[in-house]
Amino acid sequence: MGRPNIPMKRHKDKRRIIKMGTRKKVHAYVRIKPTDEFAYEMITFGEDNKSIDIHIKKDGRKGIINNQQTDWSFRLDGVLHDASQDSVYDTVAKEVVAQALDGYNGTIMCYGQTGAGKTYTMTGTTENYKHRGILPRALQQVFRMIEERPTHSITVRVSYLEIYNETLFDLLSTLPYVGNSDTPMSIVESPQGIFVKGLSVHMTGREEDAFSLLFEGETNRIIASHTMNKNSSRSHCIFTIYIEAHSRSLSDEKYITSKINLVDLAGSERLGKTGSEGQILKEATYINKSLSFLEQAIIALGDRKREHVPFRQCKLTHALKDSLGGNCNMVIVANVYGDATQLDETLSSLRFASRMKLITTEPAVNEKYDAERMVKNLEKELILLKQELAIHDSLANRAMVTYDPMDEVQIAEINSQVRRYLEGSLEEIDIINLRQIQEVFNQFKVVLSQQEQEVEANLRRKYTLINKNDYVTITAVQKAGLVDVEGHTVGETDGQGFGLGIAPFSAKPGKKGKFKKSFRDLAGLAKKEGLLSPVSGKDIDSLSTSRTQLLSPSKEVDVKDVPSRDREASSSEPVASDSPKEDSRTTRPGTPPPKPSAFEEFKNERGSEINRIFKQNKTILNDRRKKASETAQRINSIKREIDTTKEALDAQKTFREEQGEYENKGLMIIDEEEFLLILKLKELKKQYREEYQDLRDLKAEIQYCQHLVDQCRQRLLTEFDIWYNESFLIPEDTPAPLKAKGSIKLGLLPLSKLTSLAEDDEDKFGRIQTSALPDCPDSVSFYNARMKLDQKKNYSKTMASFQNKKPGPVPAVLKEKSPSDYNLP
Ligand code: ADP
Ligand code: MG
């Protein structure tokens, strides 16, 4: 048996949680049966009443253990000498029973030779209430404690099992409502614990009913006659009280269960002493066996190094498997005689008790979950969360988002989206909710595996595929000269780029220099032919690199558009084309030209198109600025006029008030001059508003134009840098990918990237994704929606900032951005 020392243990059934408590020793007591012949010289007690010492005279009588040792001292938890049933209960059982109501299992056992008082201790006399034992008192305590806990609904059930000659008997099977079962009872181990299959368990709502059950069981006990005590039981009896406590508050789905095992063991006296025969001998053998198995189990439990505890050797230990040690509160009472004649059995019982004391247990609450309550509570929670989600959706403007599982049609739609996305006909797949995201990934997987299969099928149709690890076949094929060392099929061409193909002529390594060499000529030519545009520039760029695998067949066709002079040069003058250095000697100046003059040259040649756009934008921008400045001036003069008109009107008003006001039927009468002033003011305000509206529009336009101008300028400069570096600085034989590194190539950047105003938001979203999402992956859709909302807000805020300006003087000239290092137009 493993001894878990983790604080919380979750069982397989997932509904049962045991909270581990602190370690505790088994409590062991000794109870001495009252006798007139108490052996005072042989049995003495410690002052604290927790130890018992045995002294035997060396020249002892026959039957006394014949070894050297004459003195023994046993340290226990208490010596019960001349103790009343009442005080025995308080010492031995009260705490165990109390803890059972809090969810702790408890086991109380009486051990000892026949007639020593086990049954008296456990059951007591059934005739005399005062002499009742632990059993009826425990039942009383349980019912009393239930009364004290109105917050809980607590049920009590009992069973009474007898083990006689390794056979299980149900001591309560005689009750009229217990159906007769033909199948013998058996001990069953289940995830919920040990139970005896076929044993009747009786619900008892009242103390009185519980007592009736107890008495019923007592009368059913099999009593065997014995030489030493006629009434002594020759069997083990286990009375079990099962407790289950549910909170009356429905929200609490946890409940606790516990059981108290009250065990009256059969006499522990050894076979030789009894002198029994026949049936009694058989009983005695079984008893001795089961008690020695009990001892073995206890020794194993006490030995912390032992992994295995032999519980299943007999019915007694098997039935008590989860009640010995483990998570139980456990108490043992050794019942002994005080007479000198019984000293050897007394010694043996005391040894048993002190061995029991070595066992450590970890009493723990048996907490379980009420599945039905839990489902109900989860349903409630689910409804609440759905409502919460609906609120979030409406706040985030995500109308009509459903969270139900997807049906076939929806999944098919996602599959088609994924396919379109992969083809490129769908730019992006909108994120809707977590379920949809998961399904998108799922469909990616589906499409991927389908495509893999298709590719392989295609390959198989075209080629004979050989497993790379299949060396025998590969060598055979190699010998036959069918494949080269790398496994490519010799001589095959493959348009899709598989196998060994023929590279397009333009892409052959080493030819790059030729395109390079005459770039200027080419540019000049192209310009003449009206070819130079950012697009054609890009194409030329691509052609001048050696990224052959990126060239699509359509690009190869494009090559035809390139002036034939160069094509001819590449094919008919291989020597010249393979030595780009020669070219540089002829075209490149020794030292690079100064940048300002090179820039002028660039603007007229390769950069002419972008320069033209740049100039256009700049002109528009300047025009709008000028207009804005004029409008601002007009606004200011209107404002001044408004102010003077207001002043005049105020003067008129004060004059009127000083004169005493005329009133006609509640209407104020004002003179014509004042009336004209009011009209003028009204007209001025109207003009002011209109002009202000114009200014606002102009400003928005200016901002937009400014942005375009900045971008054009940037592109012009970047392009110039690339051109300058390639033309004058970078050695011409540098691999193309290195040249391109770190610079943005004209036309290679998607326009959406350049004009994107939402970079910050995207960064922000990225940050949230990395910080918040791992903790709460379900929030993807929520944050997504939030981000869209924020972007919308930012946009309208920017627009509103123009509109919300209060009337007031406007700077006549709008500040221009700082000019670049270069002499830009
Ligand atoms: P066991 O069950 O161990 O065989 P019992 O409990 O049947 O022994 O006890 C044998 C007899 O001794 C009974 O008649 C019982 O009433 C009596 N007896 C045992 N212990 C006490 C005690 N502490 N006080 C009074 N009588 C006792
Ligand atoms: Mg007995």
Higher pLDDT residue, 47 or 302?
47
How far is the CA of 390 from the CAs of 376, 408, 617, in angstroms?
Answer: 21, 24, 47
Q: Compute the average pLDDT of residues 18-39.
A: 84
pLDDT on residue 268: 86
Distance of CA 115 from the midpoint of ligand 1 (Å)? 6
Query: Does the structure show a pLDDT above 70 at 718?
Result: yes
Task: Identify the bridge partners of residue 44 per DSSP, sorted by sequence position.
Answer: 53
Neighbours of 73 (CB within 10 A): 13
pLDDT at 374 (0 to 100) = 86
Which has the minimum average pLDDT: 92-96, 350-354, 526-530? 526-530
In contact, 683 and 719? CB cutoff 8 Å:
no
- Cα–Cα dist 219/507, whole Å: 106
User: Of 160-169, 667-676, 758-767, which range is least confident?
Assistant: 758-767
Residue 425, pLDDT above cutoff 80: yes
- What pLDDT shows up at residue 273? 47
* Ligand 2 midpoint to CA 361 (Å): 27
Is the C-alpha dihedral spanning 123, 125, 127, 130 positive or negative?
A: negative
Q: How far apart are CA 214 and CA 139, in angstroms?
A: 10
Whether the per-residue pLDDT at 662 is higher than 80: the answer is no
pLDDT tier, 73 (very low <50, low <70, confident <90, very high otherwise)? very high
Query: Which residue has the CA at smallest separation from atom 5 of ligand 1?
Result: 117
Query: Position 188: which residue type?
Result: V
Identify the residue whose C-alpha is closest to ligand 1 atom 15. Answer: 120
Picking from 821, 621, 606, the residue whose alpha carbon sits closest to that of residue 714 is 821
Q: Parallel, antiparallel, or unpaired: how do β-strands 8-10 and 16-20 relate?
A: antiparallel
* Cβ–Cβ < 8 Å for 73, 228: no
Q: How confident is the model at residue 665 (pLDDT cuts 50, 70, 90)?
A: low
- Single-letter amino acid code for the residue at 175: L
Give pLDDT, residue 588.
59
Task: Please give the pLDDT value at position 21.
Answer: 58
For residue 798, name the pLDDT band (cuts at 50, 70, 90): low
Min mean pLDDT across 215-224, 485-494, 516-525 is at: 516-525
Closest ligand to C-alpha of residue 111 is 1
State residue 328's pLDDT score. Answer: 87
Q: From the CA of 553, how far away is ligand 1's center (Å)? A: 107
pLDDT value of position 528: 42
Measured from the alpha carbon of residue 115, the closest ligand is 1
User: Looking at residues 178-193, what average pLDDT do you find?
Assistant: 81
Among 120, 227, 233, 262, the mutation site with the greatest number of ligand 1 atoms within 8 A of its Cβ is 120
- Where is pLDDT greater, at 645 or 811? 645
Burial of 187 (0-12, 13-18, 19+ CB in 10 A): buried
- 196 φ, ψ to 5°? -100, 115
**Which of 233-237, 577-581, 607-611 has the least mean pLDDT?**
577-581
What tokens appear for 770 in the block?
Answer: 């990395």
- Cα gap 442→438, rounded to integer Å: 6
Residue 91 identity: T
Q: So what's the pLDDT on residue 277? A: 62
Which of 102, 153, 132, 79 is CA-nearest to residue 262? 132
Q: Could you tell me the pLDDT band of residue 804, with boundaries at 50, 70 and 90?
A: low
Per-residue pLDDT averaged across 11-32, rounded?
68
The ligand that comes nearest to the alpha carbon of residue 85 is 1
Helices then strands, each counted (H, E), the chain: 27, 21
Q: Lowest-confidence range among 126-140, 510-524, 588-602?
A: 510-524
Is the pLDDT reported for residue 780 higher than 70?
no
pLDDT (tens digit per residue) in 318-345: 998 888 877 889 999 999 999 999 999 9
Q: Among 419-428, 569-578, 641-650, whose mean pLDDT is lowest?
A: 569-578
In ligand 1, the atom with minimum distance to the C-alpha of 83 is 23
- The alpha carbon of 119 and the centre of ligand 1 are apart by a number of angstroms equal to 7
Which pLDDT band holds residue 583 (cuts at 50, 70, 90)? Answer: very low
For residue 809, report the distance from its CA to the centre of ligand 1, in Å: 113
pLDDT (tens digit per residue) in 697-709? 999 888 888 888 8
pLDDT at residue 467, as a whole number: 77
Work out which ligand 1 atom sits closest to the CA atom of 116.
3
Contact 10, 17 (CB under 8 A): yes
Confidence of residue 716 (pLDDT cuts 50, 70, 90): confident
CA distance 470 to 622: 73
Q: Given the CA of residue 110, which atom of ligand 1 is nearest to it?
A: 3
Phi and psi angles of residue 738, each rounded to the nearest 5 degrees, phi first: -70, -40
Alpha carbon nearest to ligand 1 atom 23, residue: 33
Task: Give φ, ψ of 16 to 5 degrees.
Answer: -115, 120
User: Is residue 786 over pLDDT 60?
Assistant: no
Looking only at the bridges linking them, the beta strands covering 329-337 and 106-112 are parallel
Quote the ligand 2 centre to 40 CA distance (angstroms). Answer: 26
Q: 26 CA distance to ligand 2 centroid (A)?
A: 23
Rg (CA), the chain: 50
Give 86-96 pLDDT, tens digit per residue.
Answer: 999 999 999 99
Token pair in block for residue 163:
């083990």
pTM for the predicted model, two decimal places: 0.52
Which ligand is nearest the CA of 237, by number?
2
pLDDT at residue 540 tops 80: no
Please identify, by atom number, the ligand 1 atom nearest to the C-alpha of residue 32. 23
Look at the alpha carbons of 127, 133, 136, 141 in this order and tell me if their dihedral is positive or negative. Answer: positive
CA of 121, closest atom in ligand 1: 6
The whole-angstrom separation of Cα 684 and Cα 637 is: 10
Output the pLDDT for position 138.
97
pLDDT of residue 384: 92
User: What per-residue confidence (pLDDT) applies to 133?
Assistant: 96
pLDDT of residue 667: 64
Torsions phi, psi for 469 (to 5 deg)? -85, -5
The 10s digit of each residue's pLDDT in 122-171 is: 999 877 889 999 999 999 999 999 999 999 999 999 999 998 888 888 88
| Nearest ligand 1 atom, CA 113 | 3
How far apart (Å, rounded) are the C-alpha atoms in residues 90 and 137?
10
Residue 406 CA: distances (Å) to CA of 118, 419, 420, 820 = 68, 18, 20, 56
Ligand 2 centroid–CA 264 distance in Å is: 7
CA of 337, nearest ligand number: 1
Q: What would the mean pLDDT of 530-534 be, rounded to a whole number?
A: 36
- The string over 298-337, giving b where at least 16 C-beta atoms fall within 10 Å of a residue's C-beta and e elsewhere, is bbbbbeeeeeebebeebbbbbbbbbbbbbbbbbbbbbbbb
Ligand 1, pocket residues at CB < 6 Å: 33-34, 112, 114-120, 229, 231-232, 267, 335
Mutate to test the pocket of ligand 1, among 33, 121, 291 (most ligand atoms within 8 A of CB): 33
Please indicate whether residue 395 or residue 557 has the higher confidence score (pLDDT).
395
Q: Are 213 and 135 in contact (CB under 8 A)?
A: no
Please give the share of the chain, as a percent, with pLDDT higher than 90: 31
Nearest-CA neighbor of 166 among 270, 276, 33, 313? 313
Tell me the CA–centroid distance for residue 823 and ligand 2, in Å: 115
Give the position, in ligand 1's atom list, of the atom nearest the Cα of 231: 7
Tell me what the pLDDT averaged over the chain comes to. 74
How would you class 265 by CB atoms within 10 Å of its CB: exposed for 0-12, middle for 13-18, buried for 19 or more? buried
Could you tell me if residue 33 is left (phi over 0), alpha (psi between -120 and 50 degrees) or otherwise beta? beta
Q: Which ligand 1 atom is the nearest neighbour of the CA of 122?
A: 6
